[in-house]
Amino acid sequence: MLKTENICYRVNDKLILNGISAVFKPGEFNMILGPNGSGKSTFLKVFSGELQKYNGNVFYDDKKIALYKKEELAKYRAVMSQQPELSFPLMVEEVVMMGRYPHFIFNPNKKDISICNQVIERMNLTSFKERNYLTLSGGEKQRVQYARVLAQIWEKPITGYRYLFLDEPLNSLDINYQHEFLQIAKEFTNNDTVLVAVMHDINLAIQYSDNLFFLKQGQLIAHGKPIEVLSSALIKDVFNVNATLINNPISGNPLVIFG
């Protein structure tokens, strides 16, 4: 389980996060939504361990994140940041292997190689294995980076949970690969994984999430299951747009119609 308590974060005199307390349970797909500048990515950077100078507490399985060594945490906590980039010409399979770096010292072993091959196959990247990463399109690079992140935590730990954090992971992807991304992520929830994603597309979030967390001006203003928490009033309050909710005729979940 991942828990945050009264998280506050400032940049100079500007309060970016204001007292956010939340619980993200394993086995559920948790998604954070909100307008630009609401603090979504900053919040993820705090509970993933990228930012340290904040007030409040972050707990991984009831243990403060500050008590973990970074090298140890990296073996079961993976983060896909916005627009990750490389500037040197590695092959795709080498980029994916970067996800295994926390698990070996000098050279990968047979297990590391096997895991990377499994992830590459699952991401339908087999034909890309020996391609120069720099020659790929934006969407192809995104898929390779996702494979790298999945390779990092592909193995379930002997004890405890895996933690997978995705910060706006659907950039540059067409509709097909957007759904593939989210379907693969959801598969991880079946294996004791704490899964949190920052999202923009509210209807995609409704389709795949178990819990939605809405941020506005650095505060958590609503959270819960989509069918319980969503309303036209909430969407108006958070995004300042008019919306109507109807039932999705296929899934039965709410469907947001704007305008």
Q: Residue 146 has which token pair?
A: 């996702």
Alpha-carbon span 48 to 98, nearest angstrom: 19
Same domain, 35 and 146: no
pLDDT tier, 149 (very low <50, low <70, confident <90, very high otherwise): very high
End-to-end CA separation in angstroms for the chain: 38
Helix (H) or strand (E) holding 162: strand 162-167
Domain enclosing residue 151, as ranges: 85-156
Q: What is the pLDDT of residues 108-137, one digit of tens each?
A: 999 999 999 999 999 999 999 999 999 999
pLDDT tens digits along 198-235:
999 999 999 999 999 999 999 999 999 999 999 999 99
Tell me: the pLDDT tens digits for 69-82? 998 999 999 999 87
Same domain as 182, residue 68: yes
Structural domain count, the chain: 2
Same domain, 106 and 131: yes
- Judge if 147 and 183 occupy the same domain: no
CA 39 distance to own-chain centroid: 15
Q: Which of 143, 129, 150, 199 lies closest to 176 in space, CA to CA? A: 143
Q: Which residue has the higher pLDDT, 259 or 78?
A: 78
State whether 39 and 57 are in the same domain: yes
Return the ∠ at Cα 218 (arms to 212 and 220), rounded to 5°: 35
250 located within any domain = no
Instruction: State how far Cα 212 lies from the chain centre.
Output: 13
Q: What is the pTM of this model?
A: 0.93
Give the E-state strand segments of 12-118 in sequence order. Answer: 14-24, 29-33, 55-60, 63-64, 77-80
Does residue 99 sit in the same domain as residue 227? Answer: no
Same domain, 149 and 174: no
- 71 and 173 housed in the same domain: yes
Give the pLDDT score at 84. Answer: 67
pLDDT in tens, 53-101: 999 999 998 899 999 999 899 999 999 987 667 778 899 999 999 999 9
User: Does residue 47 form part of some domain?
Assistant: yes
Shared domain check, 132 and 103? yes
Q: Which of 131, 156, 181 is the last residue of a domain?
A: 156
Report the CATH number that the domain containing residue 227 is assigned in CATH: 3.40.50.300
